[in-house]
A = this chain, B = another copy of it.
Amino acid sequence: MTKIVRERARIPRDKTNDYTHKIAADRREFIKEHTGANLSHVAQYSFDPAMVSGNIENFAGVAQVPIGLAGPLHIRGEYAQGDFYVPLATSEGTLVASYNRGMKLLTECGGVKTTIVEEFMQRAPVFICSDATEAREFGHWVVANFETIKQQAEATTRIGKLVNIGQYQVGPLRYLRFNYTTGDAAGQNMTGKATWAACEWIKGAYPGEVKYILSGGVDTDKKHSHLNTLLTRGRRVVAEAVIRKDLLKAQMGVDTRELFFSRQISQAGAFLAGSANNGAHAANGLAALFIATGQDAANVAESHAGINYSQLLENGDYYWSMTLPALIVATYGGGTGLATQKQCLEMLDCYGAGKANKFAEICAATVLAGEISLGCAVLHGDWVTSHERLGRNRP
């Protein structure tokens, strides 16, 4: 029985040079022809298409995402020190305003202290052994040969350093989580390449029969996991601040005691819900900052995880910390060098080599600002009304 499939229209490509104004225009024309959609705004980009080779395929133009500015945010980090103006790319009304008022309060309270606790980017192959005993022995062999494995991995990269290999066994499967530092790059590709080289070496050198798959699902790339929360993916960053009782009352209309009372309730709720974050809305600030600065927005999946830990101090002030266990950022490579993205990183003095830690600290401090603002809005009743006032594009 045969089945005739009609020829489908293929998106235009230019085999000579696929990154030109011409081929981008051809694609927009193709879309107009096949869907009727006019991509006139999509066409309004301000850079040479050659610039996005390596960032995108079948380039046709750009999404223009509005950027708003928040700040100044005073940060007392190890890398980020001083006042920062933060670019947030979003279309959610009130988001910038909300982060902005949180930043104002934090700054007046003396700023945010930030700490990068540790840093790991992963690729996690799985080795498939003949049985569980063999898998365990294989794991011991990996430990014994770590230095050579490290050499093999690091030979593929100038920057990536293999710090250790976490091992997790299920039946005859040995999942190896290769933990690297990757400098100022996010490092997913770097670690993929390095781990592949290491696995190929292992496969040849191991004195037994062993197969592997380069990712066994415990990386866990582009998805939240409890493993990431426990053992870090990207950077584990803490932002801390002491909120003064008088300033909280004056600016947010909320008493610190009331805030702490409600914290007990939201903690119970987060535990009940099985939430990836027992805070409020880290994803909002991170997504906006990621888009503005050329981060991989898909990493919001991992990066939005968070653990809030607070205490009401004896004097009535409120100690607030937010720990982001899987913050994935880059200041080099990926989308960081694109036209607007680079400029937004420069606004933070975070473009290029040696800046990723600084940028990570700014991300965490920004998240904390959003937590405080939304937490107080919910209590004070501003939440709905401010969306009413500022978020007018709703149906």
Contact = CB atoms under 8 A, between A and B. Distances in A.
B192 A383 contact: yes
Interface string A19-41: 00000000100010011111111
Number of copies: 4
A284 interface: yes
Nearest to A194: B384
A31 to B, nearest CB: 5
Interface of A is mostly: mixed
A65 B65 contact: yes
Interface in A182-227: 183-185, 189-190, 192-193, 196, 213-218, 220-227
Contacts of A322: 171
Contacts of A40: 46, 343
B227 A274 contact: yes
Interface in A58-86: 58-72, 74, 78, 83, 85
A115 B132 contact: yes
Nearest to A379: B213
Contacts of A304: 222-224, 298, 301
Nearest to A274: B226
B272 A222 contact: no
A261 to B, nearest CB: 7
Contacts of A41: 46-47, 339-340, 343
A8 B85 contact: no
A117 interface: yes
Interface residues of A, number: 181
B301 A283 contact: yes
A128 B258 CA distance: 13
Given A62-B67, A218-B272, A292-B63, A298 B309 contact: no
A340 B38 CA distance: 10
A300 B311 CA distance: 31
Given A240-B171, A340-B62, A347 B224 contact: no
Contacts of A113: 131-133
Interface string A295-334: 0111111001101011100000000011100000000111
Residue from A44, A216, A273, A307 whose CB has the most chain B CB atoms within 10 Å: A273
A229 interface: yes
Contacts of A93: 54-57
A340 to B, nearest CB: 4
30 contacts: A11-B71, A34-B85, A40-B343, A42-B87, A42-B344, A44-B44, A58-B96, A61-B67, A126-B269, A168-B230, A169-B236, A170-B238, A171-B240, A171-B309, A172-B238, A172-B240, A172-B321, A189-B394, A196-B383, A217-B268, A217-B272, A217-B273, A218-B273, A222-B304, A224-B275, A226-B230, A227-B273, A283-B298, A288-B297, A297-B300
